[in-house]
Structure formats: C-alpha cells, structure tokens
C-alpha cells in the first residue's frame, strides 16, 4: 500500500510542473492599437511586365509559340507577320530553340529575343516603341559552359543521344570524329556506349547552340576509341588519341553525315535502270534530294559537271594516288569548280537523281592509281601526327580530358549497375 502511494505521489508531482489555465491567464494582457486607415485606391499593374521563356516544339507555328508565352496582342502578331525584318521568325522555328519575351499583364508584347540560325550568335530583337514596334539584329551576350554526358546505344546513335539529353549536333560530331574507325551505318551494336565532354554556348543560362567536342570515348562492340581535341601552335586543330596519334584518317568512311548503304561494291549487280548485270564499282547511299555531300578528304577539284550516266558529278584528286567520285548530284556547292581546293568535310554538292538513277541517292567511288577500291573495306591512311613540340602541350591537356572521360564512364557504369 505504501509503495502505491509513493508512485501516485510521484506521478502527481510530474504533472504538476505544467502551468494551469488560471496561471496562464494571469500573464495575458489585451492590447488595442489604432491602425491607420487603408487607402482604397486599387494597385495599378498596367505597367508591370514579366519575362516569359518559350521553347520551340516540333511542328510549332509562331502563333502557337507566342500563345504559350502569354502574348495575346493581335497588333504584335500582325507586325511580326507583315514586317520584312521579322520573317526569320517564321523560317527558323528550329525545335529546341529558346525564345525570351517581356510580356505585360494583359498579354501585350514589350520585347522579344529570338536567336537566329547560322552560328553568328545574333538574335532578332523586337521592341515596343511609342509608335508601335521595331525589329533589329543584335549580338547575343554569350557564355560557354562545359557539359559532360554519357549514353548507351539501344537502337541508334541519335536515339541514344536524345535519351541522354545530348544535342543532335554533338551526335553528328561523334560520327565525324570516329567515322574513320567505326562505320556508323553498319557497325553499331546494342549496348555500345559513349561519353562526351562538349561546349554549350548559352545566353542567359539557356543553350543557344553547341560548340566543339573537347573529348570523347566510344565503346563499339567492346573496343574503346578515345579522341581529344588539340590546337597546335600553327592554329590548326584536330582530334588525337591519348598518346598523341592523329585520330583523323586521310579519308572519311562516308561522304554523307548519316545515311544507309543501298548498294555496295560488287563485281556483279543487276542495274535497276539498264536492266542487266554489270559490275558496281562504288557504293550507293540512299538519302533525300538536297542532302549535303561532303568531300571525304583534302583535295583539288579535278572535274565538276555532267558526265553521262553519272549525271551531275564531282571528281576530287587527293595527293597523287587517290581520287574520289560523287555522282547523281542535284547540284554543286557554291565555289566548287575545277582547280579549287576543298578540305575534308567540306560540302561539295547535294544528293539528287540525275543520270542513270532509279531514285535519289549518292553514288560514291574510291580509286587508288585509277583502280576502284571498296571504301568500306580498305585500310585508310592516317593524317600526320603531332610534332614533338606540340606533343608536350598535348600530354598536359590529355591528362585532364582523360580524367573527365574516366569520371563520366565510371558514373555511367554505376547507374547501370
């Protein structure tokens, strides 16, 4: 009985530490303050503006873009449609492009910044004035950010790039860089992976375009290829392996950025137009009319014009032993004429269906001392290596870039695991 009484007393003592309601009230005081009368004048928001950002979507129209950005002023849209200086808006609705606008509370347009295509870092700027609107072209205030990304190929190079948020222009550069070692038309395998460090040119924190790839690794069918950008003292630049070997071959594997082989090199093929069997001493690439055709190596133009069944054709001479031929073109690039010089990757013409062609495609031939060779099968010569002086500077850059690639690769593998 005594024990129970002690326990009960202890419990009462514990609860007794909290103040009672009466004790709390003894500390409370009511204070009444006189407030100044509220001004009943409504707040004027008519002069307020808000910055809106729009991202162009595939299939967009100017009207749809402006509507998403909250611009509902008919006079502004009429001005954009009717002014000669604003027609780039309607011609350059590139998906992914970021557009900025300053918009009023009623949806009226105060200013619009629309980056222009062409790599000149210029924007079309539309501004409201007392008399309506003005349109001018102004240089963008740009900054360069270094981005690091990695991806795994499931179906295609561009599909993998899209899934990882890598711009198509970077995927195209990858195909150019490694095109001498990897045939991206037929050598890609499911599970191939790549890591890339590249420049992102930005305006107000938003990407305007991509710059150069600084370093990259592509693992194709289990074999790793690495490339590091380096610019020598003479101002010329290129991609090299980690030990300083020039990754660029003297020739690209393909004269098109990305396409499919429709007819390979063969000693006997049934000609779809002539309807008979004959040797096919070149490679055909299927592509739409107007697709850009690139010189596969540094060269001098030996012939440009019409040539029988080849239709419109360009023939290039590389050094003394090599010539390449590009046939069935729809037209030639400006400045391409006999005797002119072209560099590897320069556009020399456009895909067509001239001559004896059953449909749009490029017929490409590769000859050594006048003898036709299969460009997809022969070992292509390499471009010149770095000088001993440049090699020292390159090794410093290569150490930094290799560490970046290793870091991206390890992160990617950890995510996959």
* pLDDT category of residue 213 using cuts at 50, 70 and 90: very high
| pLDDT tens by residue, 40-85 | 555 555 568 888 888 888 888 888 888 888 888 888 888 888 888 8
How many residues in the chain?
417
Q: Do 49-139 and 141-248+383-417 come out as alike in CATH topology?
A: yes
Query: What is the third-level CATH fold of 141-248+383-417?
Result: Nuclear Transport Factor 2; Chain: A, (3.10.450)
Q: Which helix (H) or strand (E) holds 21?
A: helix 21-25
Residues 132-188 pLDDT 10s: 888 888 888 888 999 999 999 998 888 899 889 898 889 989 988 887 788 787 788
Q: Report the topology of domain 49-139.
A: Nuclear Transport Factor 2; Chain: A, (3.10.450)
Q: What is the CATH number of domain 260-373?
A: 2.70.70.10
Q: Would the CA dihedral through 153, 159, 161, 165 be positive or negative?
A: negative
pLDDT higher than 80, residue 385? no
pLDDT of residue 88: 83
* Average pLDDT of the residues in 380-403: 85
- Compute the distance between CA of residue 276 and CA of residue 7 in angstroms, rounded to an integer: 112
Of 395 and 386, the one with more pLDDT: 395
Percent of the chain whose predicted confidence (pLDDT) is above 70: 80
CA–CA distance, 114 with 97 (Å, rounded to integer):
9
* Residues paired with residue 115 on neighbouring β-strands, in sequence order: 123
Average pLDDT over residues 343-368: 89
Give the mean model confidence (pLDDT) for residues 407-415.
62
Domains of the chain, by residue range, sit at 49-139, 141-248+383-417, 260-373
Is residue 24 over pLDDT 90? no
Task: Detail the DSSP E strand segments found in 116-152.
Answer: 122-129, 132-139, 142-152
**Burial status of residue 359 (CB atoms within 10 A of its CB: 0-12, 13-18, 19 or more):** exposed
């Amino acid at each position: 009985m005594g024990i129970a009484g002690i326990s009960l007393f202890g419990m009462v003592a514990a609860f007794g530490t909290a103040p009672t309601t009466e004790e709390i009230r003894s500390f409370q005081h009511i204070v009444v303050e006189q407030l100044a009368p509220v001004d009943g004048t409504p707040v004027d928001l008519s002069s307020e503006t808000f910055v809106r950002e729009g991202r162009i979507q595939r299939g967009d129209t100017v009207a749809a873009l402006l509507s998403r950005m909250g611009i509902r002023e008919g006079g502004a849209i009429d001005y954009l449609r009717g002014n000669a200086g604003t027609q780039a808006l309607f011609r350059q609705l590139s998906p992914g492009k970021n557009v900025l606008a300053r918009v009023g509370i009623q949806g009226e347009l105060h200013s619009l910044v629309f980056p222009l295509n062409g790599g000149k870092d210029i924007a079309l700027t539309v501004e409201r004035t007392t008399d309506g609107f003005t349109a001018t072209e102004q240089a963008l205030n740009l900054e360069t950010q270094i981005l690091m990304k990695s991806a795994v190929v499931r179906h295609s190079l561009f599909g993998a790039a899209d899934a990882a948020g890598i711009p198509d222009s970077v995927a195209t550069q990858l195909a150019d860089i490694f095109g001498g070692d990897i045939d991206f038309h037929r050598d890609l395998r499911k599970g191939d992976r790549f890591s890339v460090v590249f420049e992102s040119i930005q305006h107000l924190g938003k990407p305007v375009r991509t710059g150069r790839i600084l370093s990259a690794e592509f693992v194709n069918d289990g074999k790793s290829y690495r490339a590091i950008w380096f610019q020598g003292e003479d101002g010329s630049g290129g991609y090299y392996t980690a030990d300083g070997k020039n990754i660029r071959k003297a020739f690209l594997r393909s004269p098109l950025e990305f396409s499919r082989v429709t007819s390979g090199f063969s000693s006997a093929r049934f000609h779809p137009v002539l309807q008979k069997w004959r040797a096919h001493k070149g490679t055909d690439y299927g592509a739409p009319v107007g697709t850009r055709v690139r010189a596969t190596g540094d060269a001098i133009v030996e012939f440009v014009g019409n040539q029988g069944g080849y239709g419109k054709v360009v023939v290039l001479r590389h050094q003394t032993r090599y010539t390449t031929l590009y046939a069935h073109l729809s037209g030639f690039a400006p400045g391409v004429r006999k005797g002119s010089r072209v560099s590897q990757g320069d556009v020399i013409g456009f895909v067509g269906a001239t001559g004896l062609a059953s449909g749009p495609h490029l017929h490409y031939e590769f000859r050594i001392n006048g003898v036709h060779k299969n460009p997809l099968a022969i070992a292509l010569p390499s471009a010149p290596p770095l000088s001993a002086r440049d090699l020292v500077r390159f090794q410093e850059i290569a150490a930094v870039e290799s560490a970046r690639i290793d870091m991206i690769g390890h992160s990617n593998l950890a995510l996959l695991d």
